[in-house]
Amino acid sequence: MNGLSRVALAAAAALFGSAAQAAPATGLTVAQVLERSPAKDWRPLDPQNTLLMDLGADGSRQVIIELAPRFAPQHAANIRTLAHEGYWNGLAINRVQDNYVTQWGDPNAETPDKAKPLGKALPKLPAEFSVPLKGLPLVRLRDADGWAAITGFVDGMPVAANPKTGQAWLAHCYGIVGAGRDMARDSSNGTELYTVIGQSPRGLDLNITVVGRVLQGMQHLAALPRGSAEMGFYGPDETRLQIQRVRLLADVAEDERPALEVLRTDSATWPALLDARRVRKEDWFVHSPRHIGLCNATVPVRPRAAAQVERPSK
């Protein structure tokens, strides 16, 4: 009875970097690794590759998405244009399928005379399922992954690769953002996007163009009512959540931009953080996995202010 509810799983939350716990003599907890990280191990949001999606009319329920132009350059460019021109403003969340995806875009996309015009964005793009592994600044993850021979991170994005084909691709982890397509490989243009809201469906890898990941605000997409029609689409009698607006960060006044920073996966803090997740030093844990999964190795995002508060010298 007493204590079970609050403290239960308490230190376990440190898996996601939210709980500070006392550490034994050796090793560091996740919280300690983050506390000790130098300011240079964090980077600001990239105005040209960050989208702000407002689901609430008052600017609340904001979802922040980072694009991955290194992996899907033509989709990223088209999405930039679409956001710049306000394409998604007033469109809607069309689909929420439990343990799978939340998807948004134009509910009338299939009705030619009702579909929203694309403006300067291109109606057709090539498939961008993978890129050459060679030359990619991949920070390898040493842990085994059943889905791919090589895994790691590039620019904070989870990446898988196959040395036999020489190709690398963004992995379908929780919060990854992809471009919905029809039967044809090249039938996505970035207007219809989805994000993963459950166990990572890695079986989608190499089947669809992945365009980025949600940096913050996943709860606003993951906690939505599931659609009752096939595949989680909303039926005619269900209310779709309207998207208030989606803006490219570059189009937002500097003093209105979210003051966030992202841990660099090419920093010294990143491998230290992974080690702290492999071997748990928080008191609650009685067993350490000595392993981290690609899709469990979430890259931290935090308020930028935290970096500006310098610790006293010690």
Minimum distance, C-beta of residue 224 to a second copy, in the bound complex (Å): 6
Q: Site residues for a second copy, window 54-73 (CB under 8 A)?
A: none
Nearest to 55 by CA among 19, 84, 91, 6: 91
Q: Site residues for a second copy, window 72-111 (CB under 8 A)?
A: 94-101, 103, 105-107, 109-111
Of the listed pieces 63-71, 77-85, 196-204, 266-274, which binds a second copy according to CB under 8 A?
Answer: 196-204
Question: Which of 2/313 has CB closer to a second copy?
Answer: 2
Q: Site residues for a second copy, window 4-23 (CB under 8 A)?
A: 4-10, 12-13, 15-16, 18-19
Question: Which residue spans within 122-219 are E strands per DSSP?
Answer: 131-132, 139-141, 150-154, 157-162, 167-170, 176-179, 193-196, 209-216
Q: Site residues for a second copy, window 264-283 (CB under 8 A)?
A: 277, 280, 283
CB neighbour list of residue 67: distance below 8 Å, 6 or more residues apart = 49, 50, 51, 76, 79, 80, 211, 212
Kindly state the tokens that stand for 43: 């980077």
Minimum distance, C-beta of residue 73 to a second copy, in the bound complex (Å): 20
Minimum distance, C-beta of residue 313 to a second copy, in the bound complex (Å): 29
Of 25, 253, 286, 309, the residue at the interface with a second copy (CB under 8 A) is 286
Question: Which of 229/250 has CB closer to a second copy?
Answer: 229
DSSP string computed for 228-266: SSGGGBPPTTSPPPBP-EEEEGGGS-GGGS--EEEE-TT
Of 49, 78, 191, 244, the residue at the interface with a second copy (CB under 8 A) is 191
Longest alpha-carbon distance in the chain: 68
Minimum distance, C-beta of residue 123 to a second copy, in the bound complex (Å): 6
Q: In what order do the strands lie in the sheet with 139-141?
A: 131-132, 167-170, 157-162, 150-154, 139-141
Which ranges in the chain belong to alpha helices (H)?
Answer: 4-7, 30-36, 73-84, 218-222, 269-278, 305-308
Of the listed pieces 35-43, 49-57, 67-75, 141-149, which binds a second copy according to CB under 8 A?
Answer: 141-149
Site string for a second copy, 204-243 (x = CB under 8 A): xxxxx---------xx--xxxxx---xxxx----------
Tell me if 199 contacts a second copy by CB under 8 A: yes
Cβ pair 130, 167 in contact under 8 A:
yes
Angle, CA of 69, 224 and 293, to the nearest 5°? 55
Q: Site residues for a second copy, window 144-173 (CB under 8 A)?
A: 144-147, 173
Of the listed pieces 37-45, 72-80, 284-292, 305-313, which binds a second copy according to CB under 8 A?
Answer: 284-292
